[in-house]
Structure 1
Amino acid sequence: MHIRTYVLRISGILVLMSYFICNSDASVKSDSVRIRIMFYNTENLFDVSDDPLTDDNDFLPSGLMRWNIGRYKKKISSLYKTIIAAGEWDSPAIVAMCEVENRKVLEDLVEGTNLSGYGYGIIHEDSPDARGIDVCLIFRKDIVRIAGYRYFKPETDGEFRSRSILYTKCIIMNDTLHLLVNHWPSRRGGVLAGDELRDKISAKAASVADSINALSPGQQKIIITGDFNCSPEDLAVKSFTDDKFLINVTRRNRSGIPGTYRYQGTWEIIDQFIVSYGLINSSHGLFAGDNPFRIFDADFLLARDPKYPGPVPFSTYRGYRYQGGFSDHLPVLLDLGFR
């Protein structure tokens, strides 16, 4: 092993250890059960191979972003470090992600890093998205059993193709958890265009949640997470809680940072967790406590904003300029207990 590689590895381990020591949660008893679920917008997790079926040309060695094997390996390593640090001594039970190109990059993550010791399984399917970026998840097979999953493709007009919604039925400690992972369209086509598209996809996700809740109203344990590309106060998101069996726990942010994404100096919480009252009010099995939500804002995930006062997520790219950071979003965490 080269000395430089060895030093880099040791440095990475020391960074993670220092974070754990400074940020361990003293309120969690050592004998308590914690099921941590993480969502992360990975910011363009592409491999370096051309996919002729999608528009991935920017993220090729000859492409606009000059994406290469060295940058790809650094990205995988950075994602691994983030997941381990977010677990705080124990890797999360479920890591839901978006902006992931294909199954291969997930295999490189869970098999080619020290995550291999946790035995993660993969759920992934190519979505209709034109760029080929998908929603997916990895899960610890020693904690989670998958009873089934399905991708729901959004019904959109014209040629626009968006990401699918991933539904997964999870069995954790003999209790059933329903998980929906989303990545809604941005406002690149204008505010009204983005709102219209999000409304349609929001309606689809709400329909799936309604169908699950109808099996035993108010009792089902449901989590809806993802990058919604709008705030918790947006009508497309608030429509989830109009049915009274869901609550957006993102509003109870107990983090030291006000958002997951920063645009022109303003923080926004666009990466969110919505849970059912079946989890909040549960008297046995899985449950969500009073403050289950947190933005993971480790120092190494932040950088100085060059244009505005304060920090900004340490992104892989800033525009077309490579920075070598982690992502332009911060991860979000949801902790469940068991009784």
Structure 2
Amino acid sequence: MRYGIKTFFTLFILIAFSGCKVLSPSSKKEELLTLAFYNLENLYDIRSDSANKDNRYLPEGTLGWTEDRYKAKLKSLATTIANMGDKDGPELLGLSEIENKRVLEDLLSTFPLKDKKYAIIHYDSQDESGLDVALLYKPKHFSPTFHASLPVGFAEANFQSRGILQVKGLLRGEPITVYVTHWPDAATPSTRLRESRKRAAAVTLRQEINEQQKIDKNAKIIVMGNFTEDPSSTILEQTLLATGRPDPNYNQELFNAFYMYHVQNRGSSFYRGKFQMHDQIMVSKSWIAGEGLHFVRGSATIHDPVSLKHTFGKYKNTPRRTYAGTTYQGGTSDHFPIYIKVKP
């Protein structure tokens, strides 16, 4: 059992703040804002790009990635996103595994997203897969004032991966900072290298957050992404200082809104016979105890409608991916999207 006494001691508190919908949001529906994250599973276009390793994702490639398949995936993704939260799509949406800005423009021109008026913040990354992170936002609710891609300080001189997207702006007039990240995954069989790369990403992100909190201990910070680690991992709890403890007295920590899902063996992706909670959204404690915008307790949600799942067989109720190996399954993604809600 990996969970210590302290973890179980806080379970009753966690239930009030976590993804378990024991307590319903007390705010009126129209006052709530949805902040979400979605791993889109290899959203490549069908055009060849010599800078990216996208040869498989071409009509003549080994996967047979045709225009019809590409449009079908865009349609399913657009429908999923539009139905999240209050059924009008999230106000802020972090994304990972997207090839370039063009696929985002194609996604946003696909019904029913074409009428949602999203704007895009995106940087091309140095990751060998050619897959990036990005942020979509509704200008009606969020006004960006600064954004950058923060490079991760890896120990290996010849290794590059996705940067951490940092976006500062005004959400309903209040300053916030959003970080969107996708940590390096199992690109190497070496456990030591995998751990080193993830730790480097955690250190880079934690240092940036520390600098913000030195200037303003009540800074409103949101961290979202695919961390390729479960919430109870040492890297998340001890290096990033992201825990399942909502106690505002531990002001430096981030509150991981999806910790309880992990404790309950639930997750947003499925691997080797079990769910993983690698997709997570974390908030600074100022979202819990500060003034202004607040995290809505009980709002953390894994968005898993039937349309995203296998409906029978060995993998029933797990995400239906686009490809299983080289076999086209026609699913939306191998990850369910997640979201939280905040209120003014």
Same fold (TM over 0.5): yes
Matched, 1:162 2:169: no
**Aligned-residue offset at 1:90:** 1.8
Q: Unaligned stretches of 5+ in structure 2?
A: 1-20, 243-250
TM-score (norm 2): 0.85
Distance 1:278 1:287 in 2: 8
Q: Which has the higher contact order (CA 8 A, sep 6+)?
A: 2
Q: Judge conservation of contact 2:25–2:299 (CA < 8 Å) in 1.
A: no
Q: Judge conservation of contact 1:252–1:293 (CA < 8 Å) in 2.
A: no
* Candidates 126, 129, 132, aligned match of 2:130: 132
User: Root-mean-square deviation (CA), in Å?
Assistant: 2.2
* Candidates 322, 326, 338, aligned match of 1:320: 326
Q: How does 1:11-30 map to 2 (within 5 A)?
A: 27=25, 30=28
Query: 2:248 maps to which residue?
Result: none
**Aligned-residue offset at 1:130:** 1.0
Structure with a larger share of its residues in helix:
1
- Aligned to 1:291, the other structure's residue is in SS state coil
Query: 2:150 maps to which residue?
Result: 152
Distance 1:214 1:273, change over 3 A: same
Q: What is the aligned-residue identity percentage?
A: 29
Distance 1:47 1:61 in 2: 10
Structure with a larger share of its residues in strand:
1
Q: How does 1:168-207 map to 2 (within 5 A)?
A: 168-190=167-189, 191-207=191-207
Query: 1:265 maps to which residue?
Result: 273
TM-score (norm 1): 0.86
**Aligned-residue offset at 1:257:** 7.9
Distance 1:170 1:292 in 2: 23
What do the CA deviations read for 1:115-142 (whole angstroms, capped 9, x no partner)?
1212110001100011210000111111
Matched, 1:252 2:260: yes
**Aligned-residue offset at 1:189:** 1.4
Q: Which amino acid aligns with 2:158?
A: E
Q: Judge conservation of contact 1:135–1:166 (CA < 8 Å) in 2.
A: yes
What do the CA deviations read for 1:131-165 (whole angstroms, capped 9, x no partner)?
21000011111111111101012122143221110
Distance 1:63 1:266, change over 3 A: same
Q: Which amino acid aligns with 2:303?
A: F
Distance 2:24 2:222 in 1: 26
Matched, 1:288 2:295: yes
Larger displacement relative to structure 2 (181-190 or 92-101): 181-190
Query: 2:40 maps to which residue?
Result: 42
Distance 1:257 1:231, change over 3 A: closer
**Aligned-residue offset at 1:254:** 10
Q: Judge conservation of contact 2:262–2:276 (CA < 8 Å) in 1.
A: no
Q: Which amino acid aligns with 1:129?
A: D
Q: Unaligned stretches of 5+ in structure 1?
A: 1-22
- Aligned to 2:77, the other structure's residue is in SS state helix
Distance 1:255 1:47, change over 3 A: farther
Q: Which amino acid aligns with 1:314?
A: R
Q: Judge conservation of contact 1:255–1:296 (CA < 8 Å) in 2.
A: no
Matched, 1:75 2:81: no
- Aligned to 1:313, the other structure's residue is in SS state coil
Distance 1:321 1:92 in 2: 32
Distance 1:128 1:274 in 2: 25
**Aligned-residue offset at 1:103:** 0.5
Query: 2:6 maps to which residue?
Result: none
Distance 1:241 1:265 in 2: 29
Q: Following TM superposition, where does structure 1 have runs of at least 4 consecutive aligned residues deviating by more than 6 angstroms?
A: 254-257
**Aligned-residue offset at 1:306:** 4.8
Q: Judge conservation of contact 2:45–2:70 (CA < 8 Å) in 1.
A: yes
